[in-house]
Amino acid sequence: MEHRPIPKWVWNTEYKNITAEKMREELQNFKEIDHYGGLMICLWGFPGYMTAAHLERYGQALEIMKELGLRAVLWDEDRYPSGKNGHRLDEKYQSAAIKMAALPWLASRVYKVPGKSKLLGAVLYDPFTKTRIDVSDKFSNGRYRGGQKPGELLLVFTLAKSRKKMLDYLSEEAVAAQLAGNHQVYYDRFKEYFGNTIKAAFYDEPCMQHIRNGRAFTETMPEAIEKAFGVNPVLLYPALFMDIGPDTHAARNMLYATRSMMFRENYIGQMARWCQAHRIELTGHMDQEEIRTPAGTNGDLLRVFEHQHIPGVDEIWNYERGAKAYKIISSSAYLYDKAQVMCEVWGGMSEDMAPDILYKEVLDLFGKGVNFIVPHGTWYDNSPATVNAPPELSYRSEKFAPHVSKINDLSTRLSEMLTGGRHVCDVCLYYPIETLYAGFKFDLRLALNGRMTGFKARYSDIGEHLYRKLHIDYTYMHPDVLASRCEAHDGQLSLNNKTNHEAYRLMVIADAAVISPASLEKIHAFVLSGGKAAIIGDFGAFSSEAGKDAEVKMLAAQICAMPGVSRFVNVDETFDRHMLGVLADRDVIIPPETDKIKLKPFSNRRMDPGKVPKRYVENRGLVSFLHKVIDGKNIFYFANTKDRPKALDVSVRGLYDLTCYDPMADAYRELETEQRGGRTHFTLRLERDSAVVMVER
């Protein structure tokens, strides 16, 4: 039961309609017919959240699940996104946004801060010289009566409550109140189920974009900025909205890094600590993981899960929509030594979804490191008129019932084989968060569009190209982890984790125009030790730290002149040949893809998953693979989700006695292998939508 999928079970009706008899019937059938391992009870916005009626039904469900041996996962709200708190949120804990008023010169200037806003500071700004002067002290009783010269702008920054009643994710106090009003209520009432029946808590799509297009701010943030960087935060605020000259890139890095830290520590971190203290784990996923820059959404997608026990991702609306994000989430698990990676999948793909999408999604996800499936979902009342974001994935669906138990069995087998251990690959792909911060500002329309100014951000496209086209696996490398937990020696960059320790022979760095001196120093040490680097696009033009542009440019120039470093403008045939050449003895060799790979652009437009648009047909499905070492044994996973069979000539580094496991049939079979040149060679013939696992005896 431990590895079986746990779907969302949506209570989409009033509490008076929820009975113990029907709950028992559904739960027993979910287990026995569908082979689910538990349920996540989701409320869908009906009145009565956290009332006596709600808690009574919840307790009945937990007792039935305990009797049936099912696991329960707490969904932390009565709707998504997490942070609405069932619309019971005290105004004191509501989210707030930073706002800038840019006032041109007037001979006599009197400005009054709006009554419901709090003054954060004011700056006199000269657009021509880029000079900034803090004039916050010129405000008295909310009114500015200071001087202003012709041509100058008076920039007034205020903190205003968000129009949406969302939780202040950045505030430790606000999140503590959220926990007290949700998680703690469950624990006080049902503590005997925690750590046995209740295994985890789940949050759903928190996002700073919900707060006035990403401008989330909080009262304690100025203090946090000053404490972290020792600078006057007021003089940094203009960079959130405009280019302020040479200080722009460092200013944005200080501001966004602080905000990301507060979101990560005060929201995710505080929930994780609460869960651990109450014998359960924390999982859940962010919103809009696919976009180029997370600066306006979750802050830092690779690091946001640092404290979360089970990092997670969402795959909704159409097949492969979130594909670019899977490796970021699994890399976060690798970097921070987590055993599991969760994906909530199939939500909103409609009843028209082709059944083969069930198999394609699972096979792809496990290749990219996911090992815990949360289907979306099943509904208490499954009549079509009441189901929001179908399909219904249970025994009650005429279309999907024949597939649900099969896909759950497949997911369970793969989870049992691929959970834990350590990931093996030769390449780390630099996560250019400093550049992503430097290129983001608040006037680029919606934060969830991921728009940037002044810089390219092709890292996720290049990651997909490496994996899909060249069949080269990699781990995303965060600058902070690179600087603090990686060591360079003998041509390798070692990630020093207790369990997931990895060793990279090549670093790929794409569009890292803004970068920290610490990252450059570690890259320099890696190359100096004999390691290889492939640099694409701009590199080391600006520092992410104030006053260090010259140092960064010098270090970047030194690195580019070193043997073992190759420069590329674009990812093209020259790049491909170089990568395949420098990694001729890579861990897993699969011949490059001959099909044309066309990466789908990010889009919020919902597509019918059962009818793949013609321009995406050539992109449908892929060959996925994964190498892990679990309990001292090497395990190699290979899957084909193309719409036709695929023959793969595979070579893996090392001499292994391997047996072949078919997870679709739950059967082992012999496969001829050959050992030569220090490698093990074999040929796989994969049918469409199938997988094999090669296991060391």
3-state secondary structure of 148: coil
Check residue 108 and give its pLDDT. 64
Per residue in 396-419, pLDDT tens? 999 999 999 999 999 999 999 999
Q: Which residues pair with 201 in a beta bridge?
A: 74, 282
**pLDDT value at position 72?**
98
Distance CA 485, CA 695 (A): 30
Read off the pLDDT of residues 462-493 as tens digits, 9 standing for 90 and up. 999 999 999 999 999 999 999 999 999 999 99
Confidence of residue 600 (pLDDT cuts 50, 70, 90): low
- In this prediction, residue 611 has a pLDDT band, given cuts at 50, 70 and 90, of very low
What tens digit of pLDDT does each residue of 7-49 get?
999 999 999 999 999 999 999 999 999 999 999 999 887 888 9
**DSSP structure string for 198-220:** EEEEEEE---GGGTTTT-EE-TT
The span from the first CA to the last CA of the chain, in angstroms, equals: 25
pLDDT at 145: 81
Q: How far apart are CA 355 and CA 441, in angstroms?
A: 42
Mean pLDDT estimate for the chain: 93
**Segment 671-684 mean pLDDT:** 97
**Is-contact 248 237, C-beta < 8 A?**
no
- DSSP string across 310-322: B-EEEEESSTTTT
Instruction: Evaluate whether 216 touches 208 at the Cβ level (below 8 Å).
Output: yes
107 pLDDT more than 70 = no
**Who has greater pLDDT, 78 or 348?**
348
State the Cα torsion 344-345-348-353 to the nearest 10°: -170
241-277 pLDDT, tens per residue?
999 999 999 999 999 999 999 999 999 999 999 999 9
Q: Is the pTM of this model over 0.75?
A: yes
Query: How many C-beta atoms lie closer than 10 Å to residue 114's C-beta?
Result: 13
